[in-house]
Amino acid sequence: MKKVTIKDIAEGAGVSISTVSYVLSGKRSVSDEVKRRIHEQIELLHYKPNAVARSFASRKTNIIGLYCSKYPDTENTDVFFLKMVNGMMAAAEKRNYKVLLLNEMEGSENFVIPFDKTFPIDGAIVTTTINSHHYLNQLESEEMPFVLVGKPPKDLKINCVDNDNVKAAYEAVELLLKQGATNIGMVTGSGLHTRLSDFEIGYMMAHNSYQIAYRSENIIRHDINDPDYVQKIMSAIQENGLDGILVSLLFTRLINRLLTDPHAPHSIPIVSFGFDLIAEHYSHLTKDVHFIQSNAYKLGIEAVARLIDLIDKPESKAKQMLLSPELSVWRQSKELQQIE
């Protein structure tokens, strides 16, 4: 069974190949009669355009690549990633694009993936990874349009989409103050670098704006892989006399302890980053939790929207988009009230 091509349709309808092509693309007006005959043949022969041939001729695949790091991640960032991909697919579909998952090539020590026509893509989305700086430098030299999801290195003017984490931490502190906190702690990962995170900047700016005493020991840095971090952080909370806490979702076990342990101090208000990612599992909260939305889905949408704009007109210059934080509260469920 030979495959049906545009030529078969042209012959069947008694017109030229180009006319069939133009009917299919709608790029030129064609008489209704010819259109009818062509569609009749398409129906009759079950013609389906060949995507690869089309891409080859038009130099356009309508596919965007999503570069996925192989670096081990926590469950939480996995959920973030999944929701981001969902957003990307939604945005891509609207504009007739598909998403191709690309992972690191075998044998490369660094996170290096070909960023050219080695893959059938019109553009790419890159997420921040450990050695992204080195990597992004390389990307800049290529002609492929791309958008970074995450914070770009300062010296690179590239297209990117990210949460406004400075503002997020700032507003989180504001919220804790409104709830009566006076001595606010922040629990954050001990990254590879000792550089200040945007969260810390926002935290500090809020302390400055509201003229609250700032104590460096209130910024509690911990490796999330330390098996005993919960105990250590709980101790620090007590020793420092904290009455409000800002905590990253990465500290799953700490969150569990603070939010579900009936013996935990009920009085300390907590703001978590990205609690929406795992809220489903917390029908057993012992208190309400305020959180700053992860925006995973939205980031996916925006990244793809920006990328497709770039593909459509590549001359447009680099733009940095920051999503404003949205604060929400996840209420202690009915479930639990029945228990008590």
- Enumerate binding residues for a second copy (CB under 8 A): 1, 3, 48-53, 55-56, 59, 61, 63, 68, 74-76, 78-79, 81-82, 85, 89, 93, 98-103, 106, 114, 116-120, 143, 227, 230-231, 252-253, 256-257, 260-263, 278, 280-284, 333-335, 338-339
Report the nearest approach of DNA to the CB of residue 107 (Å): 20
49 contributes a contact to DNA by CB under 7 A: yes
State the Cα–Cα distance between residues 256 and 254, nearest whole angstrom.
5
282 contributes a contact to DNA by CB under 7 A: no
Q: Which does 16 bind (CB under 5 to 8 A by kind): a second copy, DNA, none?
A: DNA
Q: How far is CA 180 from CA 173, 240, 242, 246, in A?
A: 11, 17, 12, 14
CA nearest 184: which of 198, 171, 197, 165? Answer: 171
3 contributes a contact to DNA by CB under 7 A: yes
281 contributes a contact to DNA by CB under 7 A: no
Q: Which does 74 bind (CB under 5 to 8 A by kind): DNA, a second copy, none?
A: a second copy
CB contact at 8 A, 247 and 187: yes
Q: Give strand pairing partners of 126.
A: 67, 148
Stretch 6-35 residues interacting with DNA (CB under 7 A): 6-7, 14-19, 21-22, 24-25, 27-31, 33-34
Q: Closer CB to a second copy, residue 81 or residue 111?
A: 81
Residues 38-69: b if buried by 16+ CB within 10 A, e if exposed: beebbeeeebebeeeebeeeeeebbbbbbbbb
Q: Closer CB to DNA, residue 51 or residue 90?
A: 51
Q: Closer CB to a second copy, residue 107 or residue 155?
A: 107
By residue count, the chain amounts to 340
Q: What does 237-275 look like in DSSP terms, one character per residue?
A: HHHTT-SEEEEETT-HHHHHHHHH-TTS-SS--EEEESG
- Member of 36, 45, 56, 329 binding DNA (CB under 7 A): 56
Q: How far is CA 92 from CA 37, 82, 184, 307, 309, in A?
A: 33, 15, 41, 10, 11
209 contributes a contact to DNA by CB under 7 A: no
Q: Closer CB to a second copy, residue 176 or residue 289?
A: 289
Q: Closer CB to DNA, residue 38 or residue 259?
A: 38
**H helix or E strand, kind and range, residue 98:** strand 98-103
CB contact at 8 A, 258 and 245: yes
State the Cα–Cα distance between residues 95 and 304, nearest whole angstrom.
10
Report the nearest approach of a second copy to the CB of residue 47 (Å): 10
Burial class of residue 215, CB neighbours in 10 A (0-12, 13-18, 19+): middle
Q: Closer CB to DNA, residue 57 or residue 329?
A: 57
41 contributes a contact to DNA by CB under 7 A: no
Report the nearest approach of DNA to the CB of residue 204 (Å): 52
CB contact at 8 A, 125 and 340: no
Task: Output the six-digit token pair for 129.
Answer: 């990874």
Interface residues with DNA (CB under 7 A) are 3, 5-7, 14-19, 21-22, 24-25, 27-31, 33-34, 47, 49-50, 53-54, 56-59
